[in-house]
Structure 1
Amino acid sequence: MQVVMPQSDVIILTDPVSDLSVHRNRVSLYPIQGEYSRDKLMLQRIRSYITFLETRLHKLSQNPRDITHYIFTDSDIAVVDDLGQIFRDHPNFHMALTFRNNKGQPLNSGFVAVRGTSDGILRAKLFLQEVLKIYVSKYINASRMLGDQLALAWVVKSKPHFDTSRFAKTVAFSDDIGGTSILFLPCAIYNWTPPEGAGQFHGMPLNVKVVHFKGSRKRLMLESWNFYSATPDIADMLCLILGSGRAKYDF
């Protein structure tokens, strides 16, 4: 993230009892008390986002000019292009989510952007509180995995006359959901996942800004990073063969 956005600060939201040693400039830990068991982890993630936004809102009330935008990501995500343009090109949204053409789970929670104004932080917090309420009341049995995405989809689709057909196109769009202005960004650009298995694709699309190493793809992250760090000039159309794990991957 700091390679493509050198001025960014990285804040790791974590369990207070976890022993994480981080010695990097502009990287800090932010412990949040909660339930971090495997069965409650996705539920806790939303609670941690809400807690963090509450602290930022309080901080901003003390210094209204200190506006900082926020992007929440999973730990298996790599940012490969400057994301500041999201806030420059779309000046009116409160919160951004990524979508894909998936009927049951059109929204992926691995990437969430929040405008750092008091209104943006407040509206994002209220939206996430509604998602949390639906998560607990309707999808608690899926709290280990996917419940957050099901709850996100329920809250968004609950808006009367929401046009779900827009999820089938890789074009960003905005909508007002319960008073929160949501910018919907295509996963194909802002939350792209390499297809799993050898020979399934040959190169990463040039417009991708965020790579999400979901599931077993996590084992590819270190090899990708080591190659990137050791290569001063990577051609746009390079096809990198990663040999990590049980099978090779084209990346």
Structure 2
Amino acid sequence: MANSRSPSPFFVVLFGFFLFLIYSMSDVHRNWTPQGSKRSSPKKLDHLILGDTPGQGLPNRLQCDGLKAMNKIDLSNENLNSSERVSFVTVFTVYNSDFTGTNEKLHDVVTVGNIAYSKVDRSMAILGTFIKFIQVSMPRSSVIILTDPASKFSINHQNAILLPIPGDYSRESLMVQRIRSYIAFLGKRLEENESLEGSIHFIFTDSDIAVVDDVGHIFQKYPNFHLALTFRNNKYQPINSGFIAVRGTLDGITKAKIFLQEVLDAYNTRYTKAYRMLGDQLSLVSVVKSHLPSAFQKFSRQKAFAGEVNGVIVQFLPCAVYNWTPPEGAGQFHGMPLDVQVVHFKGSRKRLMLESWNYFNSTSSRSNMLCLILRSGRTKYDF
């Protein structure tokens, strides 16, 4: 009777290797696309989609029953007005070649509510909505729009003005130009009035934000800072440039201008390849890290703190309150803090910003509007 022998370990390993190789090749074949072709990206939606409500059951988070807020109370008009006067400053431009609409393609037109928007119309609508949110939450505040002198557009809001600032506002350089425009604006303030004593403070923001509460209180609550930045627990981009507050004193404006000039210098020497996107945030991180590396150990705590950056007192404020972003696939998975002050509609959230304003305008409830934002935040829209 012949002896039966089990396979040797070598042949077992070899057989396993061949199985792995066959599976890997079939996987490559499934995912292969012909050279020059593009994978189809997920289609963005042209209407709001309500999903699960992040943060339900968690403490200190907005609780919603459908679109009804269960634990958020709208403030009265009396409580909305802080004693501090604040001007919001944003950089905005339109490109005149697009503004004519002669090359507008049919697929570039989107509809929100009963209004159809071209590409430029969308930008103007976002700017207008930005101003209207400020009018509701901080009616004593004004809006200053820094823009390209060659840009041709107008605004019809009593509390908003255009201020042309020369520079390169091309799409490729818009982010670095934003820092230059901020510096030029602060320089103008110093030239106009050298006896500034906090008559008016400034908050530099992106135009795709909604101020949903009075943020003027930060100048009283934190009385010693020159400049304030918002931070988040993000390893690569811990400081967001969409909200920068400057105290309106001579010392505050002077120190803020010095700080931003150092940021611009870092931008021009280290991040020239990021003029169009992210370079401003990378430059902010670089400047803070070079003078105050201990700040980065505190970002995970989500508590406001202050530190000195090359002679400038910087107040660090949590994004969760002053620069909160709806959870589009990543980010704020744990809901909306009850004390949120500013909502930032970054990326494809622009439609959500317009839809939120329309919903607030029809209901007069900021609390319920926040539920709409929270439940819609994970969806990619057509803006």
The Cα offsets for residues 106-127 of structure 1, whole Å up to 9 and x where unpaired, read as: 1000000000000000000000
One of 254, 259, 280 as aligned partner of 1:148: 280
Paired with 2:198 and 2:316, the residues of 1 have a C-alpha distance of 26
Task: Confirm or deny: 8 A CA contact 2:209 2:343 kept in the other structure.
Answer: yes
Residue aligned with 2:244, SS: strand
The structure number with the bigger radius of gyration is 2
In structure 1, runs of 5+ residues without a counterpart are none
Task: Confirm or deny: 8 A CA contact 1:99 1:185 kept in the other structure.
Answer: yes
User: Partner residue of 1:125?
Assistant: 257
Number of residue-to-residue matches in the alignment: 246
Paired with 1:162 and 1:201, the residues of 2 have a C-alpha distance of 27
Structure with the largest fraction of helix = 2
- In the superposition, relative to structure 1, how do residues 189 and 66 fare at CA in structure 2: closer, same or farther (>3 Å)? closer
AA paired with 1:53? L
Aligned-residue CA RMSD (Å): 2.4
Paired with 1:116 and 1:93, the residues of 2 have a C-alpha distance of 11
User: Partner residue of 1:53?
Assistant: 186
1:195 equivalenced with 2:356 (yes/no): no
Q: How does 1:157-236 map to 2 (within 5 A)?
A: 157-159=289-291, 161-196=293-328, 204-235=336-367
So what's the TM-score if we normalise by structure 1?
Answer: 0.91
In structure 2, runs of 5+ residues without a counterpart are 1-133
The Cα offsets for residues 80-106 of structure 1, whole Å up to 9 and x where unpaired, read as: 010111001000000000001112211
Q: Deviation at 1:230?
A: 1.4
Q: Deviation at 1:246?
A: 5.9
Residue aligned with 2:317, SS: strand
Task: Confirm or deny: 8 A CA contact 1:203 1:239 kept in the other structure.
Answer: no
Identical pairs, percent: 60
User: Partner residue of 1:84?
Assistant: 216
- In the superposition, relative to structure 1, how do residues 201 and 174 fare at CA in structure 2: closer, same or farther (>3 Å)? closer
AA paired with 1:83? V
Q: Deviation at 1:189?
A: 0.5
Paired with 2:294 and 2:278, the residues of 1 have a C-alpha distance of 22
So what's the TM-score if we normalise by structure 2?
Answer: 0.60
- In the superposition, relative to structure 1, how do residues 238 and 246 fare at CA in structure 2: closer, same or farther (>3 Å)? closer
User: Partner residue of 1:17?
Assistant: 150
- In the superposition, relative to structure 1, how do residues 247 and 15 fare at CA in structure 2: closer, same or farther (>3 Å)? closer
Q: Deviation at 1:21?
A: 1.6
User: Partner residue of 1:95?
Assistant: 227
Paired with 2:188 and 2:257, the residues of 1 have a C-alpha distance of 11
Q: Which of structures 1 and 2 has the larger relative contact order (alpha carbons within 8 angstroms, sep 6+)? A: 2
Paired with 1:69 and 1:15, the residues of 2 have a C-alpha distance of 23
Paired with 1:206 and 1:239, the residues of 2 have a C-alpha distance of 11
